[in-house]
Amino acid sequence: MINETMNAIIKARKSRQRRYIFVTVLLAVITIALACAMMMLGNTIYPVRDVVRVLFGETVPGASFAINEIRLPRTVAGLFAGFAFGAGGYIFQTMLRNPLANPNVIGITTGSSAAAVFCIIILHTSSTVVSLAAVIGGLVTVAIIYGLSKGSSFSIGRLILIGIGIQAMLNAFISYLMLIGKTSDLPTALRWLSGSLNGAELEMTFPLIVAVIIATPILIYFAKHLEMLELGEQAATSLGVNTNQTRAILMICAVIVIALATATTGPIAFVAFLAGPIAQRLVGVGFSNIVPAGLIGIILVLGGDLIGQFAFETRYPVGVITGIIGAPYLIYLLIRINRKGDI
Amino acid sequence: MPTHTFETKHLQAGYDRKIILDDVNVRIPSNKISIIIGANGCGKSTLLKTMARLIKPESGDVLLDGKSIHKMAPKQLAKILGLLPQSPIVPEGITVADLVGRGRFPHQSVMKGWSKKDYEAVAEALEMMNITEFADRAIDELSGGQRQRVWIAMALAQQTDILFLDEPTTYLDITYQVEILDLLTDLNQKYGTTIVMVLHDINLSARYADYLFTVKNGKLIAEGAPKDIVTAALIKETFALDCQVIQDPVSNTPLIVPIGRHHI
């Protein structure tokens, strides 16, 4: 009897595991295909052979400049920023058990942008300092939202509403800075307002690459703890999770990668918001979906960028495209929540 | 069956600097079912949560086998002491077997998948709670009584020697209340699990408890076997309720019959 039950459980779990692996591999393949498309497509279309030759250091007339200087930085920025937004957003949504609780909606990316724009327009600092300020801005915003929502008892609904309020304040602050700023500073500052892969440079992407490479294994290591946190504070504690420590580690890692991604590409609208729920749909629940969510993030960014570049007569930055996809989903979620009656 | 000593020493605890428990000393009898009763807001739930390390005491300590639970590694402690909270959260769409499997967390190393022992523990817990047929179903589809059995199965899969439950029968129909208490008694008899729970129903408590604790205003006012301590005077003191105590014709334990202002 017990063996029968055990075999049934093993079978069901193995089949879910197979689905997880299948979906993850499929997403990885799509990611690679999109990255190839990013490298091949442009004003001139170069075949894979030329792209590979350029990447291995050969000089191909015409192709070398376009690929090394424009397409490669664009693709790399898209890959890492997409992963950072997707995985970071998923961490927030899962930890706070609500799809609305993500960096786009509760104003963490706006916190990074505000700090960066302040450094550019008022302090005129170097781009390294701007990136650092973005990270600190993100962390401080989280700390403020978290502190204000703690009150007598912590409530996630309150956290989301406070986050939306803080975001409105930060947006007003950014608008003010843009109004008083010098015209010459505005193009740099504008980068922080809407997500775009235009003008991406490899050196600027470097801090993000390092952060993603360091943070991803940490996030995966804590994936199981994250699953326990989903059951609520009390259940997680009694299962042996140090909830405060786990939450702090996960949140800091997620905020750092998201802030650096924002520093690289600007806040690409709704990627952090959409990636988690899409991954959950495709993979199913019961497994930690950090990697699938990261891959979906990449697909949204690279796919959105390709659509923005080639689908219309005017070229649109990726943030416009993801914004168009994301906004209806946000409205759908709000309607559904309205029906259920809680945030 | 493993025995443990579990006691609190001069426990003071509460929320937001408001002290709810005041100098509570309890000693939980090993391998028995203990039930904590008391009026709403008396601190019984706070006592349970403080003993299960969900609330850090202001002063005093909670000792497991003589060691402070706040000085033990969380995962080590979670192998001995489990708690089923009053309202745990169901992750959307999760299946019964996966949820029960989360009880295995303290036994698993972080990067590894499930071991044979994990599968065994989950299967055993599902069978004990009679929920094998739901193993692959989403929790959202189950009724309240079935859900509660799933949560208890999760606590069982944790395989702790001591299990705390915070009002495990609240919101359930009487049929399911009795069913849950029967299942917990099975668990106690089969594995010798020390069970400590907070319950609202005095009569069911008197029937199912080996040992009762009554709490009033954050203080322990009586403890002992139900037949030794449940008297009209104690109920009056604990709940401010007049009653007659008669013998439960089914279990021979004390049965209280409340006296209100009408129908006398």
The ipTM estimated for the assembled molecules is 0.90
CA-closest candidate to residue B23, choices B45, B52, B2, B43: B43
Q: Check CB contact of B78 with chain A, cutoff 8 Å.
A: yes
Q: Check CB contact of B92 with chain A, cutoff 8 Å.
A: yes
For A307, other C-beta atoms within 10 Å of its C-beta total: 17
Q: Check CB contact of B152 with chain A, cutoff 8 Å.
A: no
Quote the minimal CA–CA distance from A218 to chain B in Å: 11
- Of A182-186, B8-12, B171-175, minimum mean pLDDT range: A182-186
Is a pLDDT exceeding 80 seen at residue B164?
yes
Identify the pLDDT of residue A151. 67
Identify the pLDDT of residue A341. 54
pLDDT in tens, A25-71: 999 999 999 999 998 888 888 888 888 888 888 888 878 888 888 89
Contact B91 A13 (CB under 8 A): no
Q: Hey, of B95, B129, B134, B162, which one would you mutate to test binding to chain A, going by the most A CBs within 10 A of its CB?
A: B95
Q: Check CB contact of A221 with chain B, cutoff 8 Å.
A: yes
What CATH number does domain B1-80+160-231 carry, 1.10.490.130, 3.60.15.10, 3.40.50.300, 3.40.50.720? Answer: 3.40.50.300
The 8 Å CB, 24+ separation contacts for A25-30 are: A27/A282, A27/A292, A27/A295, A27/A296, A27/A299, A28/A295, A30/A295, A30/A299
Alpha-carbon gap, residue B13 to A199, rounded angstroms: 58
Contact A240 B52 (CB under 8 A): no
- Of A221-235, A306-320, A323-337, minimum mean pLDDT range: A323-337
Identify the pLDDT of residue A198. 84
Q: Check CB contact of A238 with chain B, cutoff 8 Å.
A: yes
Residues of chain B neighbouring A10 (CB-CB closer than 8 A) = 119
Alpha-carbon gap, residue A299 to A321, rounded angstroms: 13
Confidence at A339, pLDDT banded by 50, 70, 90:
low
Crossing angle of helices A127-150 and A156-180, in 10° steps, is 140
* Closest chain B residue by Cα to residue A1: B127
Average pLDDT over residues A235-256: 91
Average pLDDT over residues A283-306: 90
Alpha-carbon gap, residue A13 to B136, rounded angstroms: 9
Identify the pLDDT of residue A152. 63
Residue of A6, A231, A240 with shortest CB distance to B74 = A240
Percentage of chain B beyond pLDDT 70 is 100
Q: Check CB contact of B115 with chain A, cutoff 8 Å.
A: no
Of A6-15, B103-112, B232-241, which has the strongest mean pLDDT?
A: B232-241
Q: Hey, of A238, A287, A290, A337, which one would you mutate to test binding to chain B, going by the most B CBs within 10 A of its CB?
A: A238
Q: How many CB pairs under 8 A join A and B?
A: 113
Residues of chain A neighbouring B70 (CB-CB closer than 8 A) = none
pLDDT in tens, A116-148: 999 988 988 887 888 889 889 998 998 899 888
Q: Check CB contact of A286 with chain B, cutoff 8 Å.
A: yes
Residues 6 or more apart whose CB falls under 8 angstroms from that of A153 comprise none
Pairing of strands B194-198, B162-166: parallel
**Contact call for residues A240 and A249 (beta carbons, < 8 A):** no
Where do you find CATH 3.40.50.300 in chain B?
A: 1-80+160-231
Residue A136: CATH number of its domain: 1.10.3470.10
CA-closest candidate to residue A273, choices A225, A307, A323, A224: A323
Which range of residues forms the domain containing residue A218? 2-340
Q: To which residue do tokens 């690929």 refer?
A: A67
Q: Check CB contact of B105 with chain A, cutoff 8 Å.
A: yes
Residues of chain A neighbouring B123 (CB-CB closer than 8 A) = 2-3, 5-6, 9
Mean of the per-residue pLDDT values of chain B: 92
Q: Check CB contact of A228 with chain B, cutoff 8 Å.
A: yes
Identify the pLDDT of residue B124. 92
Confidence at A21, pLDDT banded by 50, 70, 90:
very high
* Closest chain A residue by Cα to residue B83: A238
What residues does B71 pair with on adjacent strands?
none
Q: Regarding predicted confidence, which is higher, A286 or B22?
A: B22
Identify the pLDDT of residue A96. 84
Q: Check CB contact of A229 with chain B, cutoff 8 Å.
A: no
Is a pLDDT exceeding 60 seen at residue B65?
yes
Identify the pLDDT of residue A89. 94
- Give the largest Cα separation in chain B, rounded: 65
**Contact call for residues B174 and B143 (beta carbons, < 8 A):** no
Is a pLDDT exceeding 70 seen at residue B61?
yes
pLDDT in tens, A270-289: 899 899 889 988 887 767 78
Identify the pLDDT of residue A99. 84
Q: Check CB contact of A224 with chain B, cutoff 8 Å.
A: yes
**Domain count for chain A:** 1
Confidence at A342, pLDDT banded by 50, 70, 90:
low
Residue of A5, A227, A240 with shortest CB distance to B132 = A5
Is a pLDDT exceeding 60 seen at residue B185?
yes
Identify the pLDDT of residue A81. 95
Q: Check CB contact of A336 with chain B, cutoff 8 Å.
A: no
Is a pLDDT exceeding 90 seen at residue A115?
yes
Percentage of chain B beyond pLDDT 90 is 72
Residue of B49, B77, B135 with shortest CB distance to A240 = B77
Pairing of strands B211-216, B194-198: unpaired
